[in-house]
Structure 1
C-alpha cells in the first residue's frame, strides 16, 4: 500500500485548516505544505537521498515537525536523540545511526559533534520543491533509541505503516473527530510525541506544539486554543489540576491519555470532576506507543484497557505457553504497529520476537474482558515521571568512581515522580560515602537519571547464584 504525505493531502483537501501552532505562530495545511517543500529543497541540496539517515538533537520546535514530513517526502529516516542526554551518552547513538546529516537546535549543537543549527538550515532556500515520493507501509520513518534491562541502547526502527496503524487504532478506540487538536507537550524525540504529530496529520487535525510541559501554559492552551486531546503522565495531570484549582475544562476537551504507569484512583476521580476523561494506557516504543488503552465508554481506572483495534495481546508463561485470564506472566504483542526491528542488531531483533509476537518482557495479566493490568515494567526498570531509567547504566557510572567497590540502583515510590532511583554504594576498604557522588553522576548522566539518594552499605545482598537481591534493597530503601 502507498500513501501521500498527509500534509500534502491536507493542502489539497482542506488547505485553510489549521495544521500546526508553535510559539505564537500558526500554519495552515497550505502553508505547512509549502514550508515542508522548502525543507525538501534544503535536504536535497545537501545530498540527502532515499534511505539516508538524519540525526537530530532538539527539544520541541516547529522545525522538527517540518523536518519529519520533509524526510518522508525524500525517503530518508529521522533519528531523533534524547535532548536530555549528555555528550558522552549521545556519541555512541550517533555512531550507530551513521547519519548523512546531523542537526541540532543552536543551544544543543556543542553536545553533538558535527551538528548544524536546525533553526537556520533552510534560511538560504528560496523555493519550495513539490517533490513528494509515495510512502510505503514498510518505509522506515524513524529510529528511536530504547534500552532493555541491560541498559545498552537499541534503535527501534518504526515504519510509515506502524504510525498509520497506530493512528487508525487510536481513532477507532477514542472515536472520530472532524479536526482533533492535540496538545503536544510530550517530546518529539519520544514515540509518544511523534505519535501525536503523525496522528493529527493523518486525521486532518492540528498539533498545538509546546517546547515543554508547563502546568499554567497547558491550562491556557486547553482554555483558549481549542485543545481536544492531550497526553500526560500522572505527575503532569496532577500539576494541571492543581494549577487550574480543579476548575472544569471546556466542553470541547475530549480526553487525556495517561501513560508512564498506573494512576492513583483519587487522581482519576479528581480529573473526572474537572471534566477530564483520563484514560490509562500501556505501550512501548517497539509497538509505536499505545498497545492497550481504556475506552471512553467503559473506563474505570482499574486497568490499562483492552488492546487497540487491530492489535493482540497475550500473557505467556516461562516457556512461551499462553496463559488464561487472571494468570500473571510476560506480556506479548502482535499487530501492525510492531516495529520492523532494531537497527544493526539482528540478534537483539531475533530475541525480541517469538513466532511473530513482540516479547515486551513486561509482566501483567488479562481479565475476563480482555483488559490488561501491568504488574511490572520490566524486571528492574525505573519509570521517573514517564522517563525510563535503567539501573545498569547508573551502576556503571557509580562503580567507575575510584572510591566505589560496588553499587546497585533500585526504584522506590515517590509522590511527585511516581518512582525515583536510589543507589546503594559499598565503598572500598569501608571508607565513608563520597559526598561528590551526585556531581560525579551528573558528569555522565542526564539529570533525571541521577539517584535521588545515596545509601552506604557494607556489601550488596546476593542470592546463591551471586545475583543482587534487589527486592531486599527496595525494602531497605523504603525503610530509609
Structure 2
C-alpha cells in the first residue's frame, strides 16, 4: 500500500490526536484486516485510511465543526477520519438535514465557546429548535466504556441503527479502534438481519426494542433460525435516550431465545450514561462516572428523593465554556437535564428524561406537548409523560405513560385514554399507552 503519513494539526485536541494515531497504527499493522462491511463491500483499515486522504484532497475542512451526512457506509467513517486529520470535529447529521442549514448554528458555536478535548459533535432538538453539542466524554481510545457495553476487542459489531445518533457513531469508532470490524446494515428486515448475522458471525449487535420483537416473531414462523443466526452473538445493546417502559419482557425473552446478554444503554449528551438489564429496575452508572441529584435550589437531594441529575467524570470530557475562561476539571458537576432518583449505593432510577422530545422536529415537539396537555386534563390522570421510543424501523414514535388518580372504582385503561385523546384531536394508539398501576407518581419528578 502507499506510504502512510499523518497530519499534525495545531487545532487537534489531544483526544483527536490519539484517535488519529490509533487509526494510523491500524492502517500500518492491520492494513488488510476488514474494518467496515457495508452491503456487499468490505473495506480494510488500509483502504479506510486512503479514503480519508481522498476526502481531504477533494473537500478539505475549512471550519472547526464539519457536518457529515451519516450514510451507513464506510465513506462516512472515512470522512470523519479526514475531519480529525485536519484538526476539526465531525458532526454526523441525518440524511434529511441540509448541511448548509447549519451554518449559522456552527458559526455561533465556534465564536462563543471553547471545548475541552472535543472529538465529536451532534445535533439535538429541544425547546427553541436545534442545538449543537460538542462533546468528548470517555475518550474512544480508552477501553473502559467499550468494556462496560460488552464490545469485543477485534470482534464484529452488527449495527442496524442511524449513524447520526451520538451513541451509535461513538460505538462504531470505539469498535474500530480495537481493530474490530463494523457491519453497517442500512435497513432492518428480519430476514436481512438474520442473514447478515449468520454470514458475518457478529458477536455484538445494536437493536431497537421493535426490532427485537420482530425477531422474536421469527422464532414461531421459522423455528431454529434465530438460534443459528446468533450462534456467535454474545451481547445485544439497546441504546435509549428515554426510559423504555414495558420493554423488559421482550428483551428478557430475546436474551433467553438467542442465549445472549441484553443490555440497555441510556446515553445522554452531557454524560456517557448508565446501563441496565431486562430484569433490573435501576441503572448502573458507567465506570468513571459519578452522579448526584439536586433540588431546584441546587442542593443535593438525599437517597430516594427525585432531583435533577448532575454528572461528573474521572476522565476528560468536553465541557463548553467561554474562550477566555480556564478549562473546568473533569470532576466538575454538570447538569444532564434528566430527573431521577439515586439509591444510597448509587443506582439510578430515571423518572423523566429531558431528551424525550429533543430529537423531534419543532412540529413533533408541539404534537407531544399537545398530547401531554390533553392527557393530563383527564380528571382521572394525576400525571403523564411522553417518551420517544424507536419502532422496529428505528423511526421515533410517542409512547405515553399514565399515572391514574388513586382510589378509582373503575380502573383507568389505555383504551379510555386513547378515546379521550381522539375526542380532543390528539389521537394516539392504545397500544402506545402504558398505565402505571403501582403507585402515584411523585410530581416533583417533573411532568
Task: Tell me the TM-score normalized by structure 1.
Answer: 0.64
Aligned to 2:443: none
Aligned to 1:217: 192
The structural deviation recorded for 1:304 is 5.2
Is the Cα contact below 8 Å between 2:371 and 2:421 reproduced in 1? no
Q: Does 2:37 correspond to 1:30?
A: no
Segments of 4+ in structure 1 off by > 6 A? 413-416
- Give me the whole-angstrom Cα distance separating, in 2, the residues matched to 1:373 and 1:279: 16
Q: Relative to structure 1, is the Cα distance of residues 143 and 244 closer, same or farther in structure 2, using a 3 angstrom cutoff? A: same
- Give me the whole-angstrom Cα distance separating, in 2, the residues matched to 1:413 and 1:57: 27
- Give me the whole-angstrom Cα distance separating, in 1, the residues matched to 2:390 and 2:48: 38
Is the Cα contact below 8 Å between 1:281 and 1:304 reproduced in 2? no
- Give me the whole-angstrom Cα distance separating, in 2, the residues matched to 1:65 and 1:416: 24
2:341 corresponds, among 347, 362, 365, to 365
Is the Cα contact below 8 Å between 1:292 and 1:304 reproduced in 2? no
Is the Cα contact below 8 Å between 2:262 and 2:278 reproduced in 1? no
Q: Relative to structure 1, is the Cα distance of residues 216 and 365 closer, same or farther in structure 2, using a 3 angstrom cutoff? A: farther
Q: Relative to structure 1, is the Cα distance of residues 264 and 324 closer, same or farther in structure 2, using a 3 angstrom cutoff? A: same
Q: How is 1:72-221 mapped onto 2 (pairs within 5 angstroms)?
A: 72-85=84-97, 92-98=101-107, 138-148=116-126, 150-159=127-136, 162-164=138-140, 168-174=143-149, 177-221=152-196
Equivalenced residue count is: 359
Q: Deviations over 1:99-130 (max 9, x none)?
A: 9xxxxxxxxxxxxxxxxxxxxxxxxxxxxxxx
- Give me the whole-angstrom Cα distance separating, in 1, the residues matched to 2:41 and 2:183: 10
Aligned to 1:428: none
Structure 2 residue runs without a partner (length 5+): 1-13, 109-114, 373-384, 401-419, 426-447
1:292 corresponds, among 265, 270, 274, to 274
Is the Cα contact below 8 Å between 1:8 and 1:33 reproduced in 2? yes
2:284 corresponds, among 306, 309, 327, to 306
Task: Tell me the TM-score normalized by structure 2.
Answer: 0.68
- Give me the whole-angstrom Cα distance separating, in 2, the residues matched to 1:74 and 1:415: 36
- Give me the whole-angstrom Cα distance separating, in 1, the residues matched to 2:233 and 2:185: 18
Q: Relative to structure 1, is the Cα distance of residues 373 and 345 closer, same or farther in structure 2, using a 3 angstrom cutoff? A: farther
Q: How is 1:57-72 mapped onto 2 (pairs within 5 angstroms)?
A: 57-72=69-84
The structural deviation recorded for 1:244 is 5.0
Q: Does 2:260 correspond to 1:276?
A: yes
C-alpha RMSD of the superposition:
4.0
Is the Cα contact below 8 Å between 2:149 and 2:237 reproduced in 1? no
Q: Relative to structure 1, is the Cα distance of residues 338 and 18 closer, same or farther in structure 2, using a 3 angstrom cutoff? A: same
- Give me the whole-angstrom Cα distance separating, in 2, the residues matched to 1:414 and 1:362: 14
Is the Cα contact below 8 Å between 1:280 and 1:301 reproduced in 2? no
Is the Cα contact below 8 Å between 2:158 and 2:184 reproduced in 1? yes
Structure 1 residue runs without a partner (length 5+): 100-136, 399-406, 423-452, 459-480
Specify the SS of the correspondent of 1:192. Answer: helix
